[in-house]
Amino acid sequence: MKIGRIVLINAVTALVIIGLFAVGYNLWYQSDHYVTTSNAQVTGNPITLLAPVTGQVSRVEARVGHRLAAGAEAVTLVVDPTRPHGAARVVPVPAPAGGTVIAMDVAPGQMVPAGEPLGTLMNLSRLWVQANVPETQIRLVHVGQSVDVSLSAYPSVTFKGRVHAIEYATQASMSLLPDTQSSGSFTPVVQDVPVIITLDSDMGHTLINGQSATVKIRVR
């Protein structure tokens, strides 16, 4: 009985050691072969509808979620709507490029100045992932490396992709309001470098601008 207990204890101890070794090896392997970050999201090129003239919104043809072809009328403006004898000028505002309407910022009857944003479109078939990689790891990342991408919206799906570009500016340096320190002291802060990742396929799922992502860039 005593011998059996010793054998059992030794077996359990061996399994624990093997388990710890396996966990440690996996952690080392992941850190050595991948750069991983959850500071990432799906994004794309926004297409902004701008008012070409100052006028009053007469009609809004574009609806959020609808797809517009390039040149399709999105909004109609009326210039000098109070001018007598029906002399007001009607100005159609076409979509500058094809895309899906993701925001409309105006309503009929609203006055808008020239250059005012009226809405936003985006080509949802040409989205990518922007991953913000710490500057301490960016030396390991190169264009063309394979990437595994998981989205919070589809946690069981792994999207395959490639590093398309590495931006030559940190995320903080491109902020409209950069973080500055008023005192004479300086505390170094690790900066993030934006990395653009293109996806091989959407895997039949709908991708939405701004969705949160986690990326694993294979560096070895």
Which domains are present in the chain?
35-44+125-218 (2.40.30.170), 46-122 (2.40.50.100)
Contact partners, residue 6, CB within 8 Å, separation at least 6: none
Report the pLDDT averaged over residues 125-146.
95
Q: Which residue has the higher pLDDT, 174 or 169?
A: 169
- Least Cα distance to 195 among 166, 169, 175 occurs for 166
Number of helical H runs and strand E runs in the chain: 1, 14
pLDDT grade for 189, boundaries at 50, 70 and 90: confident
**pTM greater than 0.85 (yes/no):** no
10: tokens are 């030794």
Q: Which of the pair, 199 or 220, is modelled with greater confidence?
A: 199
Segment 175-184 mean pLDDT: 56
- State the average pLDDT for the chain: 87
DSSP 155-216: EEEEEEEEEEEE-SS-TGGG-SS----SSS-----PPEEEEEEEES--TT----TT-EEEEE
pLDDT at 179 over 90: no
What integer is the mean pLDDT of 139-158? 95
Report how far apart, in Å, the C-alpha atoms of 180 and of each of 129, 134, 136, 177 are: 28, 19, 21, 9
Closest among 193, 213, 47, 205 to 129, alpha carbons compared: 213
